[in-house]
Amino acid sequence: MRATRRFWGVVLLAALLAGLAVLLERPVLLAGTASLAAWLLAGQYRFFARLAAAEGTTAVDQTLSRERVATGESTAYSLSVSRPDPSPLALSVEAGVPLAATADGESRSIDLDPGQREARLGLTLSWPVAGRFSCSPASVVATDPAGLLVETLSLGSTPSIDVEPRRPRNVHVGEGGEVVSAAFGEHESGRSGTGFDPAELRKYVAGDAASRIDWKATARLAEPYVREYESETERRTALLIDHRAALGEGPSGETKLDYLGHVALAFVGSARQLSDPIGCFAIGEEGLTARHPPAATDESYARIRGTLQDLQPTGGNAGASGNGTAQSGGADTLSGAVEARRNPAAARHMADRLTDDDAFDTTLLPYFRATESYVRRISGDPLFGALRRDIANLNGPVWTVILTDDTRPERLREAVTVARRGDNRVLVFLAPTVLFEPGGLADLEAAYDRYVEFEEFRRSLARNPGVSAFEVAPGDRLDAVLASGRRRREQRRAGRA
């Protein structure tokens, strides 16, 4: 409870009367002082009683028209105040609008005059920032009829809203231009359906999507068959999302990172729905920029969503050519070939044994040194380092989900090798550079050739045991590239005919 200036004015008047009574020796003035004091005490008592009644009977309701919006969108906000019986107290109610929202009107409060039973306020709120926001309780300022005392109460509902970043348009997730039929991260115990883990074959029935047909089995058995999938009861997932400089390619709001972030958020949403543990590790130019070990709490889901929504491409050298897999660098290509034939530890051991005195050793030494240089570069790669240090230290089997692009193919191969050790399953989501570069589709035939190289790389990753690899891209741009490839094949067939 707070006293107003009017209250202190009455106190000052009472004190003045008491002083005059002493100075003028007029005891009658003390009666005036006593009367004012009694009036103030009685007023305080009445105010407390009325305030308690108002707190128990005043209904303050705040509502938002939607629970989920995209950044830049608007929602309707409503504030209603009502009390069952008229009250001599005057109420001023301030809306508990989140600070992140911008309102269309200047006034965010409504007044309930003495004797008035209800009042309403409507606002249109815009949401420029992504995140989860909650309304605070409405601030209710009660004033007694004489204007001597005020008190502030916090009343009312506190609705929440999830503000999502604007999703990229026409998100395609698939293999070789075919859309994958699974929802990210979904799994059910003991049941089969669409997913990432192959289970069994069954005959095609009318209504099955054509994308689910297993064409190899169909050719082998001479009739259509569909591949079913099955997943475990609980899944611990670790998201590794790359937000280095190369992931910033693409138009504003439609960069590689925007598309990969959309996929990562879908995994978080699925994990939250199924109460599965999920973690997130963000990779920048210098290493980890965010680390959230797998957990299955509302707080952990919210933290990961916030991290993903706030990610921006880091600065520095992207470390790769703009031509993606087609131009990954001569040293990486040579050392990658050496690496494919030798164990790095054994290569280093052999290099230590070779000398410059022997002609045969002199011939072999550059290749072993190239492998040693390759191993050093791989060890310093932020994605590889995060997998080796952080993911490898997680107890038990983990679904590792890597979200990156195709600009570092050999380093990504090694990272996937580390990720799939033990019982771990690995999902790789790749953004093809050719579909994000400015002017990348100016020459559709050249773009198709580069997409074919990307597809060969994706398939090579998917051939590893326990690894699935998918492309993430704007569907319309991918369709244009694939259409160019089909036209080329048709022209070639026509020419041969």
- Domain locations in the chain? 2-56, 59-164, 171-187+232-496
> Are the C-beta atoms of residues 192 and 230 closer than 8 Å to each other?
yes
Is residue 494 packed enough to be buried (19+ CB in 10 Å), middle (13-18) or exposed (0-12)? exposed
> Looking up tokens 């992207």, which residue turns up?
318
The third-level CATH classification (topology) of the domain covering 59-164 is Immunoglobulin-like (2.60.40)
DSSP 314: -
The H helix count followed by the E strand count for the chain is: 12, 22
Q: Report the top-level CATH class of 171-187+232-496.
A: alpha beta
Kindly state the tokens that stand for 83. Answer: 């009390």
CA separation for the pair 24, 179 (Å, rounded): 98
CA separation for the pair 21, 472 (Å, rounded): 89
The DSSP string of 79-145 is EEEE-SS--SSEEEEE----TT-EESSS--EEEE-TT--EEEEEEEEE--S-EEEEPPPEEEEEE-T
First to last CA, the chain: 95
How much is the pLDDT for 65? 92
Position 26, amino acid: R
How much is the pLDDT for 218? 84
Looking at the DSSP assignment, which residues form a beta bridge with residue 442?
none
How much is the pLDDT for 442? 87
469 CA to centre of own chain: 21
> Are the C-beta atoms of residues 296 and 276 closer than 8 Å to each other?
yes
> Are the C-beta atoms of residues 99 and 126 closer than 8 Å to each other?
no
Report the run of H or E that residue 305 belongs to, with start and end: helix 298-310
**pLDDT per position in the chain (497 positions), as tens?**
788 888 888 888 888 888 888 888 787 878 888 888 888 888 888 888 888 888 888 999 999 999 888 888 889 999 999 998 888 888 999 999 998 898 876 688 899 888 888 999 999 999 888 788 999 999 999 998 888 888 999 998 999 998 877 778 788 999 988 887 554 555 544 444 444 455 567 787 776 767 678 888 888 888 888 876 654 456 789 999 999 999 999 988 889 999 999 999 999 998 998 899 999 999 998 888 999 999 999 999 999 998 998 899 987 544 333 344 433 333 343 344 344 344 454 555 555 555 556 665 566 555 545 544 445 556 678 888 888 887 777 777 888 999 999 999 988 998 898 888 776 789 999 999 999 998 888 899 999 999 999 999 999 999 988 899 999 999 999 999 999 989 988 888 887 76
How much is the pLDDT for 401? 94
The three-state secondary structure class of 489 is helix
Phi first, then psi: give them for residue 95, nearest 5 degrees.
-65, 140
How much is the pLDDT for 319? 39
